[in-house]
A and B are shown apart, each in its own frame.
Chain A
Amino acid sequence: MRLFPLSRFEVQGNSMLPNLEPGTEVISFNWAYLFAKPKAGDFVVAQVKGREVIKRISKIKGDEVFLKGDNENESTDSRDFGWIKKEQIMGKVIYVL
């Protein structure tokens, strides 16, 4: 968990089109899942293989989530890297700047 509750990110890449274009800035709430559970459909920032990715939660199974990009034909997501642990979620996107 991060000490500061909010982080700002600039989206790079096409996998969240048409909802988030490359260059769009978003605010993620790092404490979002301290008291609430992740839900399917949430936009999240997660740590996957050493880098921060932005995807949407597609499915939830126990303490694991399945992430998918909105632009399915051009997204590398859980269909490639598999289910990730909920602890790998760094925050929930709460605002698009």
Chain B
Amino acid sequence: MLKFLSFVFHLIPSRPVYAHCDIPCGIYDPYPAQEAAHTVIRMTKLIQEAGDDTHKIVRCTKVKEEHAEIVKRDVATIWGDYFKPEMIEKYPDLHKQVFEILKLASKTKQNVDLEAANQLLEKVQKFAEVFWESKGLEPVRIPSGYTTEGEIVSHK
């Protein structure tokens, strides 16, 4: 009977039905935002140490601007594209966290402010922890190995 049913069903022309996710298909990672936040710290320190070296200040400022922008773009993308409304119910502080990251990233662009840069990294790391938790993976802080020292949030 099942064989007959299957035979009949196969006579019906098939067409695609979509069970798609957004492109890129679930590929999100808070790693680049953390790397960029570390870069903002490094550039801030280099600017502070540059003295009268205008050329170096200009170069470091450019990189600082670009990487603060990477933080904003990547965090906003994960927030807007990856997180779903019911996940926000589970992480009610997420909107505030993202808002603070965007504001801090702007602050690090507007000023040579090491405290703001350190706060930015800390906020991005906390955001990364929420991200991995939401995927059911246990977040873990590991040494970054960068010149800034400090950590990167990954998962077990």
Contacts and interface: CB of A to CB of B under 8 A. Distances in A.
Contacts, number: 85
B19 A27 contact: no
Nearest to B5: A95
Interface of B: 5-6, 9-10, 12-22, 25-26, 84-86, 134-135
Main secondary structure of the interface of B (DSSP, over half): mixed
A53 B15 contact: no
Interface string A8-46: 111111111000101001110000000000000000010
A76 interface: yes
Given A73-B26, A74-B26, A8 B13 contact: yes
A11 B5 CA distance: 20
For this complex, into which size category does the number of interface residues on chain A fall? Answer: 20 to 34
Interface of A: 4, 6-16, 20, 22, 25-27, 45, 51-55, 69, 71-76, 79-80, 95, 97
Contact of B16 (A4, A9, A27, A73): A9
